[in-house]
Chain A
Amino acid sequence: MIKYLTRRLLGWLLMIVVATNVTYFLAWGFLDPRSNYVGRRPPLSPEEVTQLLEPRNLSDTVPLVERWWNWFSGILFRWDWGVSAVGESVNEQVAYRMWISAELVLGATIITAVLGIALGVYTASRQYKLADRVGQATSVVTMNINIVVAALGIVLLAIGFNDLVGARVFYVTGSHSRDVSGFFPVVLDALQHLTLPTLALVLVGYAQYHLLQRTLLLDNINADYVRTARAKGLTKQKAIRKHALRTSLIPVATQVAFTIPAIFTGAILTERIFGWNGMGRYFLDTIGDNDIHGVVAIAAFGAVLTAAGAILSDIAIVVLDPRVRVS
């Protein structure tokens, strides 16, 4: 088991390294750090720009292979992901912004999965009854609303609500207020900022788990082993919870794990709308600022998330599926 996971881990590590390096060369094909200095007052001569860029390993006067090796060996030996064209450290930026995004994405992922699975179980045990039909219709609609429309619609509703109450219950922009201190005020403030973007992510995300869980559970409810359990005297509810749910959770868990990178992409749009200074914002900034090292760091971050999702799904299968543990 450990051996299997280690092998998978090594395979993914190799993929991440290759993907990151490919992105490095791609980024050089599309971005030009030199253009950051065009139009400066007083104007800088090309030589002066080169002098500024060369110590940052961003000058195109140095051969690409040499630039690549400087960058790659920096990560390999010092875990230094380089600097932007104006000298900001990528390590610092990512270390700071990562947690802002995590605050949003982690909470939203957990709520989305729990809500979706719970709804799936609830509606599957009431197949074709009113609750099932209403739930399914709602899910098909919410699942296909664009995240941008959902988020902006929520902003409009929240502004309306704030006006109605006459106080700022929900914050429409930013992840924190600046002048808040003390444990409970900070938590309350964070929640006031978190509620709306989380709501947007959950609204467009829960439905896929709901529909998937419902279908899988319905497939399993009539399986032989569930019937056996019923024949031995378990109530229907108990048989579903103890036997059918367990096997039907496996594909759902896989799905949840694999959507982690997708949620992150969804969060780019959400962060932009709600003015969060997380990885999504960094993604937009780095492309706008010709920040090659930043772009590559984000690509690596995304690749790590994909790999983490895949490995988590492997672990989930081992935990949930007794057949895997036996063999």
Chain B
Amino acid sequence: MSLDQVQPPVGPATTATRIPRKRMSLWSLYTRRFVRNKPAVAGIVIFILLVLFSVVAPLIAKYDHVELDFLNLSSPPSAEHWFGTTSAGNDTFAQVAIGLQRSLMIAVSVSVGTTILSAIVGTAAAYFGGMIERGILLVIHFLMVIPTFLILALISNDAGGDWRVISLILILTGWFFPARVIWTMALPLRESEYVNAARYMGVPGMKIVMRHLIPNIGSLLVINFALGVVTAVMAETGLSFLGFGVKIPDVSLGSLIGYGANTITSAPWLFYFPAGALTLLTVSMALVADGLRDALDPTSAAGGQA
């Protein structure tokens, strides 16, 4: 009996496993699942275009956003003023570009801030448990009772429309709801083996939180960030619309819409363009968040196989 008879027959089933198939990296898996979601791809394209618009438009605009053209007061869109002008002679094209830039800057910094803060507080509450957990939850529930919109209006009214102050207040009043969500997500991790192992090896608590808990809910944080951008844009534009947020000479999409609301019948283009930009921004970011959830969430079946 020769040796090759003993060896198992080489069939098609075994060759498949023998071909050195490279393990798909996590990133390419995520990208593949994200790209499969057409609305999400459309969302990210629109979002990138909006960012490009807010950066490039002020460079190519014929007028500055504070410059007044006294020959064109309240004129509809034309070759000279692409988005028309306000009753004072401001070029709406330049204003929308700057306003979008400002709204984006506030939204992204607020979302980064709330995500970091809520991640640390939420996971710390879940990890430490006991008194610390109960204390943090009590503070969160208490903050939910205080009408934050009122606090926001009070402080930003006092701040005189500085966008950095507005961002800071939005962070301070926006972290506790996501923190509560993250707390529930991080609870099961408290009992996981790797956390226990780290604890028995004497790693200090805060280090476990930063090194093991937060990276393990990373996908949730990414989704939270995308949704946070939408929430922050909504809050900022609402405040600015009411006159509590960004103030002249600075402009944001909310203050522009507030201005357009007063002339909605006589000069509707003052409303159309900022409102269009705002809607594109929030809807595109929401689509991206949906796509991220499908791509990153391991329990989600919406992404299909692999």
Contacts and interface: CB of A to CB of B under 8 A. Distances in A.
Chain B, interface SS category: helix
B237 interface: yes
A148 B238 contact: yes
Interface string B189-225: 0000000000000000000000000000000000000
Chain A, interface SS category: helix
A265 interface: yes
A298 B158 CA distance: 19
Contact of B150 (A23, A137, A159): A23
A132 B234 CA distance: 27
Contacts of B244: 287
A22 B155 CA distance: 14
Contacts of B265: 159
Interface residues of B, number: 41
Contacts of A27: 154
Interface in A290-308: 295, 298-299, 302-303, 306-307
Contacts of A149: 257, 275, 278-279
Contacts of B261: 148, 152, 273
A146 B146 contact: no
Interface string A1-23: 00000000000100110110011
Q: Could you say which interface size class chain A belongs to?
A: 35 or more
A152 B257 contact: yes
7 contacts: A19-B145, A26-B154, A149-B257, A156-B268, A159-B265, A269-B238, A287-B150
Given A12-B145, A137-B39, A283-B150, 6 more contacts: A15-B145, A22-B146, A23-B146, A27-B154, A31-B154, A146-B282
Interface of B: 39, 141-142, 144-147, 149-151, 153-155, 157-158, 230, 233-234, 237-238, 241-242, 244, 254, 257-258, 260-261, 264-265, 268, 271, 275, 278-279, 282-283, 285-287, 290
Top-6 shortest CB links A-B? A302-B147, A144-B286, A144-B282, A149-B275, A30-B154, A19-B145
